[in-house]
Chain A
Amino acid sequence: MRNLDDPEWLAKERALVDRAKAGSHKAFVAIYSEFSAALFAVFFLIVHNLAQANDVRSHTFLMGWKDLAKFSSQRSIYFWLRAIGVNKAKRLKRNDKRDAPLPEEEDDVDALLGPMNMDMESGLDLPRMKRRVHERLDQLGDGNHQRVLRLFYLEELSHEECAAALGMTMGAFYTALSRAHAAFRKLWDVPDAA
């Protein structure tokens, strides 16, 4: 995603917002195209479910269009849309009876994301986030952790196929998956070198 503090972009975005406020659907579609993917990613990080993340995105842009007249911030509209969607996503998460309620102190997306806080503040930079994930995976070394994570997320394999590919029982595979996540998280929480 572009730099949201860039004055040139902000001026262009403000013109789009003004046109959308005046009723231009085209201008709002342009705003949608600009931020849709990044917002989808943010919502996915909260709800952990593709279909629900998509629902939240639809809700966000419909509410955004309906309440656009209320938007008056000097910052990018991305942050306003993100606030609408994050609230909706958190409500969805709390109302989901099948899921455990989020403890208040953990109900903070930025805290859950660790060192990506900076990116969440300046607008989610998806390419940078992906690069960082790959870097951290490489840092896991040639052991089982990296293999388990890459096999499980990159290949579209079932749990049983993953266990078979790794030559493990199902129980051993689940244990390895849990340990690989914990090892990755440990590396993820280490700030980037300046």
Chain B
Amino acid sequence: MTEEEEMEQGRLLADLRDGKAAPGVDKRLAATAALLQLALDPKVARALESGAAPSLRRTPRWSRRIAVAAFAIAASFLVWLAVRPVKAPAPSPEIAKAQLDAAKSADPASVDMAMKGYRQDLVNIGLLKGAEDTHARADTAIAAGNFDAARDALSTLKGRGGFIERDAWFRLATIELRAGRTDAAIANADRGLALGRPTDMFTVNLLLARAAAHKARGELTQASEDLHAAIVLLDDMSAEALREK
């Protein structure tokens, strides 16, 4: 290999670390790069621990001052973005299936799990801006059984409004359910539903969480009312999806 070729391979390997495509990279060296990144890169270690994909963007130190100035400008734009009402995206087929399963079993745990992958999709299309790290922290805390830390993380989303906050109330409700605190679960679901009940998956999730809490308390009438409301919404959303097709 000539020195020029070595230099080109090095540039491609460097791009791979940053998550960029590197057509033409030697496959064995690419696998080696992945091994080194798995073993050494703190971002990969965090991804392995949290179950969430972190941002791949690396901020060069020389540009941090510029980044601070840009942040100040971007922050005001983000505030505007946060307060502007954004229509919730349609649920994926996996979410819809998990919700139907949860409606049958009155157990929203699988919905929370299915939402985990879906939240990543929302991050990728920029609809969960600013909340991705919060969910990752909550996931890590829940996996470790540390419900207090999960509550603290998700509580930072209070006041965000829209489906971001309603999703946070749903997660807080499921945490209380797991902790056996059904009264707090109902209160959290109520607070989420008080923010609005549009026909979307976040309303369905809140209803499913509240139904599960009522069921756990033996309040079967209230549980069936919430389950019925959730199924009606799911039915409406299916009809809407079919109309769109």
Contact A100 B48 (CB under 8 A): no
Cβ–Cβ < 8 Å partners of A32 in chain B: 113
Asked if B48 and A185 sit within 8 Å, CB to CB, the answer is no
Contact of B14 among A48, A50, A159 (CB under 8 A): A159
A178 pairs with B21, CB closer than 8 A: no
CA distance A39 to B27 in the complex (A): 20
In the bound complex, do residue B23 and residue A113 qualify as a contact, i.e. CB atoms below 8 Å apart?
no
Q: Which of A33, A150, A153, A182 has the most CB of B within 10 A?
A: A153
Asked if B40 lies at the interface with its beta carbon under 8 angstroms from chain A, I say yes
Let me know if B61 is at the binding interface, CB within 8 A: yes
Given A54-B120, A106-B27, A178-B10: A150 and B32 within 8 A (CB)?
no
State A69–B110 Cα separation when bound (angstroms).
17
Contact mask A162-191 → B, CB, 8 Å, 1/0? 000000000101111111011011001000
Q: How far, in Å, is A47 (CB) from chain B's closest CB? A: 9
* B191 vs chain A, min Cβ distance (A): 24
Measured CA separation A182–B24 after assembly (Å)? 16
- The bracket for how many chain A residues form the interface is 35 or more
A36 at the interface (CB under 8 A from B): yes
Of B3, B16, B60, which contacts A161 at CB under 8 A? B60
Q: Size range of the interface on B?
A: 35 or more
Smallest distance from the beta carbon of B92 to chain A beta carbons, Å? 9
A133 to B10, CA, bound (A): 19
B11 CB within 8 Å of chain A: yes
**A75 CB, nearest partner CB in chain B, Å:** 24
Looking at the complex, which one of B14, B31, B113 makes contact with A25 (CB distance below 8 Å)? B113
Q: Are B32 and A36 in contact (CB under 8 A)?
A: no
Contact A126–B21 (Cβ < 8 Å) = no
Given contacts A54-B52, A126-B48, A153-B40, contact A113 B7 (CB under 8 A): no
A179 touches B47 (CB 8 A): no
Bound Cα distance A126, B47 (Å)? 14
Interface residues of A in 67-118 (CB under 8 A from B): 96, 98-100, 102-103, 106, 112-113, 116
Complex contacts, B58 vs chain A, CB 8 Å: 156-158
- How many residue pairs link A and B with beta carbons under 8 A? The number is 177
Q: How far is the CB of A186 from chain B (nearest CB, A)?
A: 10
B73 interface contact, C-beta 8 A: no
Q: Contacts A133-B40, A158-B60, A160-B60; is A174 near B7 (CB within 8 Å)?
A: yes
Residues of A within 8 A of B47 (CB): 40, 50, 53-54
Residue pair A53, B24 in contact (C-beta under 8 Å): no
| Chain B, range 8-53, C-beta contacts under 8 Å to A | 8-11, 13-14, 16-17, 19, 21-25, 27-44, 47-49, 51-53
Selected contact of B23 from candidates A100, A130, A152, CB within 8 Å = A100
CB distance from B138 to the nearest CB of A (A): 15
* The residue from A98, A106, A133 contacting B39, defined by CB atoms under 8 A apart: A133
Q: For residues 101 through 152 of chain B, which have their beta carbon under 8 Å from a beta carbon of chain A?
A: 101-102, 105, 107, 109-110, 113-114, 116-117, 120, 124, 143
Given contacts A53-B53, A171-B7, whether A58 and B35 have CB atoms under 8 Å apart is: no
Would A54 and B32 count as touching, CB distance under 8 A?
Answer: no
Cβ B113 vs Cβ A179 within 8 A: no
Say yes or no: A62 contacts B94, CB within 8 Å.
yes
Q: A57 vs B48: C-alpha distance in the bound complex, in angstroms? A: 11
| Known pairs A29-B109, A152-B14; A44 contacts B23 (CB<8 A) | no
A12 within 8 A of B: no
Q: List the A side residues contacting B97 at CB < 8 Å.
A: 66
Least CB distance from B232 to A in Å reads 23
Closest residue of B by beta carbon distance from A107 = B27
- Beyond A160-B62, A181-B9, 10 extra complex contacts between A and B, CB < 8 Å: A44-B34, A44-B38, A48-B33, A53-B47, A61-B117, A133-B40, A158-B60, A161-B62, A174-B9, A179-B10
